[in-house]
Amino acid sequence: MKYNRCGKSGLLLPAISLGLWHNFAGVDTHENSRAMICRAFDLGITHFDLANNYGPPPGSAEDTFGKILKTDLAGYRDELIISSKAGYLMWPGPYGEWGSKKYLVASLDQSLKRMGIEYVDIFYSHRPDLVTPLEETMGALEQIVRQGKALYVGISNYNPQMTEQAATILKQLGIRCLIHQPSYSMFNRWVEDGLLDVLEQQGMGCIAFCPLAQGLLTNRYLHGIPADSRAGRPTGYLRPEGVTKEKLKKVNALQKIAKNRGQSISQMALAWTLRDNRVTSALIGASKVVQIEENVAALKKLNFTKEELAAIDKILA
């Protein structure tokens, strides 16, 4: 594993991290979830990313992770970076979503209980709340750090302007905004339009979620939609109509470049996401151990020639 410094902090994160949004929930096979987490850790993936609502049912991914921590990783807490988030709908009533202090503090307490741990390493505001004052949301993150319930805090899905404001407020409160978690892949390049510049100015790291566009940037859908794939399963966030001819045409074209590089399409897509050194880590998902193995092997070839990057831009345009 390669470890990258997270912005200007002291924290190193693995270049590839594993997220538990899909395939680690109550509806999934526990033994498979366990095998993936253990293999990931053996490959040097020290960072596991969760959120209060990961399931289904919501919360069950944290339950699963808590069980595996107990059965397999109990002796390794100090070698792990565990993150969780709150922002999306978690429980009914006015206090179960968005960015109030009431919600964030209560939600983290629930997450800690589900995972059976005393603190998370990183706690995120999962999405911006345009109604709650940003001072309140950031104040909640500050309190959480001061209480020792999180070592670091971050934000997710915030635009460049709100990112700058959030980082500034936290700085005034004496807390560093460690990291931003945005979506970023060959199919979704919005962070290139200002966000990465803000993160660099603020000394923040960046962990890119859905770097494989939920599996589209792999060989998964080149011959139809497999029943066991995210688009094929009823609980997957990617729906069959998201697997478009236009996207598959691009994946086929990208695959030729990947082949010349001696990589699979998923390996090239991950290396591409990491080509800008302001991106600290690519946050993958997986449904099988072999996918994690294949994806970590992307780190064997991270550099691109100018010609390769130009050819990729042309396909993605």
Chain contacts with ligand NDP (rule: CB under 6 A): 19-23, 49, 126, 156-157, 181, 209-215, 218-220, 229-230, 266, 283-287, 291, 294-295
Q: Of 51, 113, 38, 114, nearest to 80 (Cα)?
A: 38
Closest approach of Cβ 199 to ligand NDP, in Å?
Answer: 15
Q: How many residues does the chain have?
A: 317
96 versus 146: smaller Cβ distance to ligand NDP: 96
Give the angle subtended at the CA of 212 by the CAs of 207 and 218, to the nearest 5°.
155
126 versus 310: smaller Cβ distance to ligand NDP: 126
Q: Are 127 and 87 in contact (CB under 8 A)?
A: yes
Closest approach of Cβ 307 to ligand NDP, in Å?
Answer: 25
104 versus 310: smaller Cβ distance to ligand NDP: 104
Beta pairing, strands 81-86 & 281-284: unpaired
What is the full DSSP assignment across 44-64? T--EEE--TT-TTTTTHHHHH
Closest approach of Cβ 221 to ligand NDP, in Å?
Answer: 8
The backbone torsions φ and ψ at residue 46, rounded to the nearest 5 degrees and listed phi first, read: -95, -10
Closest approach of Cβ 239 to ligand NDP, in Å?
Answer: 12
Closest approach of Cβ 313 to ligand NDP, in Å?
Answer: 20
164 versus 294: smaller Cβ distance to ligand NDP: 294
SS3 194: coil
Closest approach of Cβ 137 to ligand NDP, in Å?
Answer: 15
31 versus 307: smaller Cβ distance to ligand NDP: 31
Long-range CB contact pairs, 163-170, < 8 A, 24+: 163/195, 163/198, 163/199, 163/202, 163/204, 164/198, 164/201, 164/202, 165/134, 166/125, 166/134, 166/137, 166/138, 167/198, 167/202, 167/204, 169/134, 169/135, 169/138, 170/138, 170/141, 170/142
What is the spatial distance between Cα 93 and Cα 96, in angstroms, rounded to a whole number?
A: 6
Q: In sequence order, which residues have a C-beta less than 8 Å from that of residue 170 and are 6 or more positions away?
A: 138, 141, 142, 153, 176, 177
User: Of all residues in this chain, which one has the CB nearest to ligand NDP in the complex?
Assistant: 285
Closest approach of Cβ 33 to ligand NDP, in Å?
Answer: 12
41 versus 307: smaller Cβ distance to ligand NDP: 41
Rounded to 10 degrees, what is the CA torsion of 121, 26, 14, 35?
130
33 versus 266: smaller Cβ distance to ligand NDP: 266
Closest approach of Cβ 250 to ligand NDP, in Å?
Answer: 15
| Tokens coding 167 | 């980082």
204 versus 212: smaller Cβ distance to ligand NDP: 212
